Amino acid sequence: MGLYLLRRLGQAAVVLWAAFTVSFVILYMLPGDPVAIMLNPGGQATYVDPEAEAALRAELGFDKPLIEQYFTRLIAAVQGDFGTSIRTGEPVLNSLGGALPETLKLAGASLLLAITLGMALALTATFMRAKWLREALLSLPPLAISLPGFWVGLMLLQVFSFGLGWFPAFGNDGVASLVLPAITLGVPTGAVVAQVLANSLGATWRQPFVEVARAKGVSRLRTHLVHVLRNAAIPSLTIVGLIVGSSLAGAVVVETVYSRSGVGRLLQGAVAEQDIPMVQGLVLVSAVAFVVVNLLVDLTYPLVDPRITTRRRVGA
């Protein structure tokens, strides 16, 4: 297990380095100049003092060769220093510390909703004996996946905020303001979980051990919830690790629709103004969350299926 953890940590380091490098290259390939954007935010000025521009460029380190900028930022990032935001002049970590809690609330609530709805739908659909009902339930996940997130958010706002007035339309004011954004982000994610788990449950029901359990007198419900679910859970655990990244990405759209302050809106503004330190800080934080969750998922596999540990030992 120790060797496995070291290998996984090494892979995590490679993922974080790749995320940093790709974001650095893409940001420098974008048209425009962050220094010019800072000195002329609205793009209305006809003249910018060359001396002021040169001084600001030197202060931010943009006067150095590109490869030197890369390694300077990389070494600082390894030490936990993501630099100073070009837009606000504040340390990137301070801005992230203010925005991250709200996004974590949204992502956590949507992930909990997604797992609950996805598991409930998959378990119910695959347990049904009536073919028409099973197929009707299994047709819901593809429908939910196909719906654009921004459209779902606008429809929920129209009905439950502007129409019925049950939930606030905008802002971060209390638990009620979290309900609609969590549904908007959680429903399509839950549909993915339901689709994967339902396919795995259907395949597991056809395994020989299910017939053995039923022959021993185990009820159909217990077979479904204990024996079949446990053996079918591995693909869904993998998906849960992947959808954490999609939840953080989806927060950009959802926070914009519901005017919530968080990492999504912070990223939107940083990209628009080519705030390179801020964007890289956000990318690395998202990559760290993705890596940590996937490592936890990997460590959960042996608890669900002890044979995985055995196979690792045999392979070693």
pLDDT of residue 139: 83
**pLDDT one-digit tens code per residue, 199-214:** 888 788 777 777 777 7
**pLDDT one-digit tens code per residue, 215-228:** 877 787 887 777 77
Dist CA 282 CA 103 (whole Å):
12
pLDDT of residue 47: 59
Of 302 and 14, more confident:
14
Of 251 and 48, more confident:
251
> 164: which DSSP letter?
S
Q: Residue 1, exposed/middle/buried by CB under 10 A (0-12, 13-18, 19+)?
A: exposed
Contacts of 20 (CB under 8 A, 6+ apart): 73, 74, 77, 280, 283, 284, 287
Short-list 183, 189, 206, CA closest to 126: 206
Q: Tell me the C-alpha to C-alpha distance, in Å, between residue 151 and each of 155, 185, 226, 264.
A: 6, 11, 38, 17
Instruction: Please check the confidence at residue 257 and state whether its pLDDT lies above 80.
Output: no
- pLDDT band of 166, cuts 50, 70, 90: confident
105, 181 in Cβ contact below 8 A?
no
Task: Read off the pLDDT of each residue in 150-172 and give the average, rounded to a whole number.
Answer: 79
pLDDT of residue 2: 65
pLDDT of residue 251: 74
Indicate the helix (H) or strand (E) that contains 160: none
Residue owning tokens 């959802």: 254
Dist CA 175 CA 283 (whole Å):
27
Dist CA 141 CA 126 (whole Å):
13
Lowest-pLDDT range, 6-10, 68-72, 306-310? Answer: 306-310
pLDDT of residue 301: 63
Residue owning tokens 């739908």: 121
- pLDDT band of 45, cuts 50, 70, 90: low
H helix runs in the chain, sequence order: 2-29, 34-39, 50-60, 66-78, 92-127, 131-138, 140-146, 149-156, 176-205, 208-215, 220-222, 229-257, 263-272, 276-304, 307-315
Q: Tell me the C-alpha to C-alpha distance, in Å, between residue 95 and each of 84, 251, 279, 311.
A: 10, 17, 11, 45
Task: Read off the pLDDT of each residue in 116-121 and give the average, rounded to a whole number.
Answer: 86
DSSP assignment of 204-237: HHTSHHHHHHHHTT--HHHIIIIIIHHHHHHHHH
pLDDT of residue 310: 46
pLDDT of residue 314: 41
302, 138 in Cβ contact below 8 A?
no
Short-list 144, 224, 225, 127, CA closest to 186: 144
pTM flag (> 0.75): no
Q: What is the mean pLDDT of the chain?
A: 76
